[in-house]
Amino acid sequence: MDEFTYGRRQVVTYDHTGQPHYQYRPLTPEDFLDPQEGDAFFHGQRHDQVVQALTRALRWHYRFHPSTIVLQGVKIRWADRSLPGPAPDLAVVLKGSEPRRPRTFFDVQQEGAHPRFVLEVTSPRLAHLDREAKREIYARAGVEEYFLVDWDDPGAEPRLVGYRLAHGAYVPLAPDVQGRLVSQVLHLALQAQPGETGVAWVDLRTGRPITPEPGWTDSPAEAQAEAHARARSIADSLSSFLAGGDHA
């Protein structure tokens, strides 16, 4: 088996002259449940494409919601510090602040809000942890809904699995008549569909898949820079207007 089957962590040491030396150590399945910043897990190209597509669609859907935060691969620090802090593929916080601020971790205590929805996309090497260990962590942390996009067979459609919290434990969700998993938290549905990602969000109001406009960016850093640029432009226009008024 490859030494770096699950992923790698960079380790920096310093010699007697103060010069840094960089090495990598292999990650274990246990690291997957409580990663450190900078850990690189090897999930595979399809996993990454699906996660990116689902995250982008959700950020597009909530782009005008000032308190909804959509996190991708961000480590969670729970209010209960005894719980391991995974970095879910996708997590949604509905009553947060600064949704477009880049984060390397999300601290529930500091933010005063917690993820109400989590989704994981399985990869062959780590799927058992998504199905069991992470499910237990999210239930204990009080995450109301947990969805899985689970591939048992790489050549088949994904299996959509959902759970909703009831009395401190997850209860499996049954698909609706159209085979979709309906999220009461998000008021959206997750459905399998043909194509590279094999899955899509559906807006229950329209019945249509959520599709971002071409060219739209979901990067928090880019969005923040764009917002600052707009603010500067407005400020400059106002200053120009006031300056013109002074000379009138």
What are the tens digits of pLDDT across the range 122-144? 998 899 999 999 999 999 999 99
β-bridge mates for residue 181, sequence order: 190
Place of tokens 């002259």: 17
Residue 153's H or E segment, with its range, is none
Q: What percent of the chain has pLDDT over 70?
A: 85
Q: How many CA atoms lie within 13 A of 162 on its CB side?
A: 20
Q: Is the pLDDT of residue 148 over 90?
A: yes
Q: Is the pLDDT of residue 166 over 90?
A: yes
Residue 86: per-residue pLDDT: 96
Q: What is the mean pLDDT of the chain?
A: 87
**Dihedrals phi, psi of 104, to nearest 5 degrees:** -95, -15
pLDDT at 167 (0 to 100): 93
Instruction: Give the chain's end-to-end CA distance (angstroms, integer).
Output: 78
Q: For residues 207-216, give the mean pLDDT.
A: 90
Q: Which of 40-44, 54-58, 92-96, 232-236 has the lowest mean pLDDT?
A: 232-236
pLDDT of residue 237: 47
How far are the Cα atoms of 50, 96, 178, 224, 225 from residue 217, in angstroms, in the given order? 16, 21, 31, 11, 12
- β strands within 75-151, DSSP E: 75-77, 90-93, 105-107, 117-121, 145-150
Q: Please state the rounded mean pLDDT for residues 170-197.
A: 93
CA 99, CA 94: separation in Å to the nearest integer?
Answer: 10
CATH level 2 (architecture), domain 44-235: Alpha-Beta Complex (3.90)
Mean pLDDT highest for which of 95-109, 147-161, 218-232?
95-109
Domain positions in the chain are: 1-42, 44-235
pLDDT reported for residue 220: 53
- pLDDT attached to residue 144: 98
pLDDT at 215: 82
